[in-house]
């Protein structure tokens, strides 16, 4: 059994809210990979796991900037531990993470291995931040399959209902969502648009979103519903799932859309193209005209059972805990071979 310490900046040390390694921990254990999860703010637990593990994975680049994680990194370096960072961040968050001295120090470490959730992120590390390509491996992430254990393929969706998910801030494009809704509603007055996600202090305020909806004359067309713990039930009633983000690595909401057989219309950013694998409709980033046209066309055509099943098949092949654990097992073998 190989012990691997996983350092997370999420409050519960790996399980809150969205960690691929946490979701696959039981399958990984069955493959001989015991994952010890540590929250970066828990000093005592971190020391015990550090001494028992040969390898350390920092789950997310921000992990190296917060709590005791920089201390874990320094001690791990002195003890000769194998260390890797599992990047979930593309341009938007990577630039902000580089403000931290501990992150910049790690980037200069020639022994550090980098996993990234998408090809776009790998290119970013190599081309923008000068990481040696041989030290980077793509490791596609997953979502929490317990949220989608009942796919609800039999639900009859509303033909003109669509939804997007994510915290309400600039990267996720809620302003673009509202503009797309305005253009679609002018042609399809029965269309209804739902946004599932929390307002946050550094994002658009609830009052500013409400004012934007009112000024666009869309009070009866758009609902910002707030955070929803398990969105799959609401998504099952939608005709399409939308992604209006300006930047994304491998968005979990699209994995969940595939799992319940939904058509996806998304801006072609980050790892979205490789996530969908030829399914759904990709729109050039920021092109709200093309996005609105694609959505109007989708509302006018049938979404068949065969198309639903193709989405489900993509999910089962790529985004289950079993699929991730197999990828992680290969990634660990690559990591060990590289340093042997």
Give the pLDDT of residue 153: 57
Range of the domain at 335: 2-142+321-339
Question: How does residue 13 score in pLDDT terms, banded at 50, 70 and 90?
Answer: low
Same domain, residue pair 164 and 303:
yes
Q: Which of the two residues, 38 and 126, has the higher pLDDT score?
A: 126
pLDDT at 43: 62
- The number of domains in the chain is 2
What is the per-residue pLDDT for 185?
A: 97
Task: Provide the CATH number for the domain around residue 179.
Answer: 3.40.50.2000
C-alpha 155/C-alpha 260 separation (Å) is 10
Mean per-residue pLDDT of the chain: 91
Of residues 259 and 66, more confidently modeled: 259
Residues 309, 165 within the same domain:
yes
**Cβ proximity of 64 and 99 under 8 Å:** no
What pLDDT score was predicted for residue 16? 62
**Shared domain check, 165 and 16:** no
Instruction: Give the model confidence (pLDDT) of 274-331 as tens digits.
Output: 999 999 999 999 999 999 999 999 999 999 999 999 999 999 999 999 999 999 999 9
Q: Is residue 150 predicted with pLDDT exceeding 60?
A: no
Residues 200 and 289 placed together within one structural domain of the fold: yes
How far is the CA of 331 from the CAs of 14, 113, 114, 135, 239, in angstroms? Answer: 19, 10, 10, 11, 37
Cis amide leading into 17 (omega within 30): yes
Residue 305 phi/psi, 5-degree rounding, is -65, -35
> Do 29 and 162 sit in the same domain of this protein?
no
> Are 73 and 190 in a shared domain?
no
- Provide the 8-state DSSP code for 199: B
Confidence of residue 338 (pLDDT cuts 50, 70, 90): confident
Q: Are residues 190 and 286 in the same domain?
A: yes
Q: Are residues 220 and 335 in the same domain?
A: no
Query: Model confidence over 157-178: pLDDT tens digits?
Result: 777 999 999 999 999 999 999 9
State mean pLDDT over 177-188.
97
Residues 185 and 309 both lie in one domain: yes
- Residue 212 has φ and ψ, to the nearest 5°, of -65, -40
Is residue 309 located within the same domain as residue 332?
Answer: no
pLDDT at 231: 82
Range with lowest mean pLDDT among 33-47, 63-77, 116-130: 33-47
- The predicted model scores a pTM of 0.93
**Residue 84 and residue 162 in one domain:** no
Claim to verify: residue 119 and residue 165 sit in the same structural domain:
no
CA pair distance 105, 96, nearest whole angstrom: 15
Coil, strand or helix at 4: strand
């Amino acid at each position: 059994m190989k012990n691997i310490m996983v350092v997370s900046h999420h409050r519960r040390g790996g399980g809150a809210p969205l960690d691929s390694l946490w979701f696959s921990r039981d399958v990984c254990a069955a493959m001989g990979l015991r994952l010890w999860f540590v929250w970066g703010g828990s000093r005592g637990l971190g020391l015990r796991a550090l001494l028992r593990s040969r390898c350390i994975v920092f789950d997310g680049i921000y992990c190296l900037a917060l709590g005791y994680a920089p201390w874990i990194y320094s001690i791990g370096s002195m003890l000769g531990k194998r260390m890797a960072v599992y990047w979930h961040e593309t341009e938007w968050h990577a630039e902000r993470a580089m403000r931290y001295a501990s992150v910049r120090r790690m980037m200069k470490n020639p022994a550090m291995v980098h996993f990234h959730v998408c090809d776009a992120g790998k290119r970013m590390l190599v081309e923008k931040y000068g990481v040696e390509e041989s030290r980077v491996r793509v490791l596609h992430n997953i979502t929490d399959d317990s949220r989608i254990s009942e796919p609800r393929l039999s639900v009859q969706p509303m033909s003109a209902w669509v939804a997007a998910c994510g915290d309400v801030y600039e990267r996720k494009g809620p302003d673009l969502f509202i503009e797309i809704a305005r253009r679609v509603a002018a042609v399809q007055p029965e269309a209804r648009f739902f946004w599932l996600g929390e307002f946050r202090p550094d994002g658009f305020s609830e009052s500013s979103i409400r004012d934007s909806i009112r000024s666009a004359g869309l009070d009866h067309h758009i609902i910002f519903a707030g955070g929803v713990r398990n969105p799959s039930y609401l998504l099952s009633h939608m005709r399409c799932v939308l992604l209006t983000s300006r930047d994304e690595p491998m968005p979990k909401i699209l994995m969940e859309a595939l799992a319940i057989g939904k058509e996806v219309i998304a801006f072609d950013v980050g790892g979205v193209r490789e996530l969908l694998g030829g399914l759904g409709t990709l729109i050039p980033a920021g092109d709200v005209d093309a996005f609105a046209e694609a959505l109007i066309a989708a509302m006018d055509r049938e979404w068949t059972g065969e198309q639903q099943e193709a989405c489900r098949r993509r999910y089962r092949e790529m985004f289950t805990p079993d699929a991730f654990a197999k990828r992680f097992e290969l990634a660990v073998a690559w990591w060990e071979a590289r340093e042997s």
